[in-house]
Chain A
Amino acid sequence: MWLIDSSIGRKVVMSVTGAALILFLTFHMAMNCVALISGEAYNVICEFLGANWYALVGTAGLAVLMVLHFVFAFWLTIQNRKARGNVRYAVSERPKSVEWASQNMLVLGIIVFVGLLVHFANFWSKMQLQEIIHGTNFVAGQNGPTDGAFLIQYTFSQWYYVVVYTVWLAALWFHLSHGFWSMFQTVGWSGSKWQRRWQVIGNIYVTLVILGFLSVVYFYFFKSLC
């Protein structure tokens, strides 16, 4: 199977799973922005998704994509470190045209993953998980498993979560700023003109997505201060 036993194939897996995850983030960000307008409307979306079969299928699909992205990332990194040889350069300088993020994708990915665990503890474990196991492990004041608006308000009224989420989203920005154009390059949909175009399009797109997420965090943080 060429997707597993060739270097380009393995990269294609990273590219395609990455693209799907970016699309998911876009959807998630659009959904979050509803909370800027109305908490009730946001809860309607939470109810619509909840633990319905399509939401569960979607979640399972995302989990598979994520696991593939992680497994291939570690696999590629191990191979790449081996290919680099045992002796490291004593002096090594990064050329100006090389983005910092591009050489630290695994580290950034790990930060994103750790942030994801925090995020799961904050939201997923109090929402979809409770609905699946018919549990009642809610935060005091949370009105049922689909009361996402309350959890947003609750989480981002605590300043340390604001800090954690900001760091998390910043790491995600760096990860995606390289990942976006890189996925087009990997599947070959790039060239001397399109490489630069994808880079610019990617920077704008990713910045908008991350700003969308951040706006909800800070909106509720400042709201809690007032």
Chain B
Amino acid sequence: MSDNAARVRSTDGGEAGGHRPGPLATVPAEPGSAKPDPILVVDHLTKSFGGLRAVRVDHLEVQRGTITALIGPNGAGKSTFFNQVSGFDRPDSGGWTFEGHPLAGKPAYQIARMGMVRTFQLTKALMRLTALENLMLGATGQSGERFLPAIVRSWRSQEKDVQRRAEELLDRFNLTRMRDEFAGSMSGGQRKLLEMARALMVHPTMIMLDEPMSGVNPALTQSLLGHIQALRDDGMTIILVEHDMDVVMGISDWVVCFAEGEVIAEGRPRDIQSTQAVIDAYLGSRTGDQHDVLEAEQ
């Protein structure tokens, strides 16, 4: 695993930390700030569950080709925000555009086909499919997924291409020896890798990772981080929800802090560390969650 992480980092020009001032250097660190080349723009997105307002984002832009981390105490609305934007849940109001296309009201599968693919906090490996099948499923535009072509087997040459690409990804994520094993017999960390590799089969331009490090042992965490940075260096945009502050500060180009459903701060990692609103949110002047802060300080 560590070999791979090292290899991935070497493609990063030796810059292990991953901070790239790049296009975000001059962006003001304030909620709703405009980015030079936003791939995702969210406007006035709201979602309530009964009387509880879970999300209210007035304006948020995500810069293309960067790693953007969403942080905030438990219950701050990060995962709900993820669900709205990826089409897995309907917001009460508001809109958002991805590469200029408005997405409000589009079903999740169409959003995924447009190149915005997400993973889940609780890994959703398809347990009774093999690792290879899990990946091959992810390929889009397969003619064999339509009923009649499936019967006449006109999809066989396309299937070969899909399989080759799947095997390349298995190799890249060090899963080749699990190729023909059921995903259900893989470890938690391997399933995380599998899910990430599978998302890449969709050819995404933006990938949304919901707590990619949860339940992963420290050695594998390094490898996962390496993979995520390598994806960014390939030009992909990454949004991730993460609780581990070391991870967030280590790999993000931009950090967005949620509290009580709103974006209370955003900026480069070093801006965020000194922002009073973030400290308040974690220390409990508003919602309070001592545990997260202790974690953050470690």
Indicate, yes or no, whether A interacts with B: no
Tell me the A residues contacting B by CB distance below 8 Å: none
